[in-house]
Amino acid sequence: MLRETIRLDMNEVPYLPPRGVLEAAQKGLSSLNRYTEPQSLERLRELLADYSQVAKEHIVLSPGSDLLLREAIHAFAKGRRVVMVSPSFFPTVQAATEFATERLSIRLSPPGFDLNLGLLNDVASEPALVIIDNPNNPTGQTLLDRQAVETLVGNANALLVIDEAYYEFSGLTLADMVPSCPNLAITRTMDKAFSLAGARVGYAIAGRTFLDALSSFYAFLPQSSLLAAIEALSSRGYVRRNVQRVVEERERVWRALREEGAQVYPSTTNFLLIKTDFPDAANRFEEMGILVSDLSNQLPAGFIRVSTGTREENDAFISGYMRIREAYD
């Protein structure tokens, strides 16, 4: 019998949403022959506005926050340089590479992966679209605080998009700045903490400049995704439980690997960045039936990113790491 693959490569939360959310998604299938009702979309915007503590007019829906990031690049890259950090969320890097007239990356270097804010402000002094994931994927580090954002958005030449995909884990958001900062937008997803990766519900909390550019971006979410998201936001206490369980497991894995002498970086997300001494680590884990993210396309050899799974999945990863290390010793 083939063993089941353990997926720790996509930063998914390993727990299903509660029964009510699953039932809402199932209900959506009963009207699969119909387009989404506009009033349901407006209800979702209202709930997201309440969750984000902003007015509803600042909310833009999308089937995935990555599409909103691509749309921002489409809308603003002409005549502006696109400024990002490296490493970063890879689909956004691909979009910038494909569509930006000029792209500039600010390197986050080990061991600290700190962002050079002085350099960032310098390169944004000319017309620029700055896109930064905060916390960063794949390092797990928080890159921007309120003071840094105030400086950036105070620059009339800069448009700033902050991707807060892991906001629920980091506890840091700058969404409250949006109403008074027309050149600021926050993108978020319900894929992670809400356990809705299969539903693909993303949204932006957008300042006026971004709202004007995204006015034609009107997303008709699938019925099942829409109803699941509405139910999730109506009974969102489970998100706190998800986050608590993930953080506890993440820290347990961090401690276990550190005790084994592994180089593991602190994280404010649902994943860990690990520097191994074996450059083919991802392949070795895959041979064991464990999928992790190989970061050789963005970082030096040996770096992998590992999502936090269930306790059993995490134990399998820890055991796998020990076996690989022993084979190399």
The CA dihedral of 54, 133, 309, 304, to the nearest 10 degrees, is 180
For residues 153 and 149, what is the distance between their CA atoms, to the nearest angstrom?
Answer: 6
Q: What is the pLDDT of residues 8-61, one digit of tens each?
A: 999 999 999 999 999 999 999 999 898 888 899 999 999 999 999 999 999 999
Which residues partner with 129 through β-bridges?
82, 159
Asked if the bond preceding 111 is cis, omega within 30° of 0, the reply is: yes
- Evaluate whether 275 touches 325 at the Cβ level (below 8 Å): no
Residue by residue, DSSP assigns 203-217 as EEEE-HHHHHHTTT-
Task: Work out whether strand 128-133 and strand 158-163 pair parallel, antiparallel, or are unpaired.
Answer: parallel
Write the pLDDT tens digit of every residue in 223-266.
Answer: 999 999 999 999 999 999 999 999 999 999 999 999 999 999 99
Q: What is the pLDDT, as a whole number, of residue 230?
A: 98
Please give the model's pTM, rounded to 2 decimal places.
0.95
Please give the domain boundaries of the chain with CATH numbers for all domains. 6-15+238-328 (3.90.1150.10), 19-234 (3.40.640.10)
- Strands 81-86 and 102-107 turn out to be parallel
Alpha-carbon distance of 132 to 162, in angstroms, equals 5
Closest CA relative to residue 210, chosen from 315, 54, 53, 6: 54
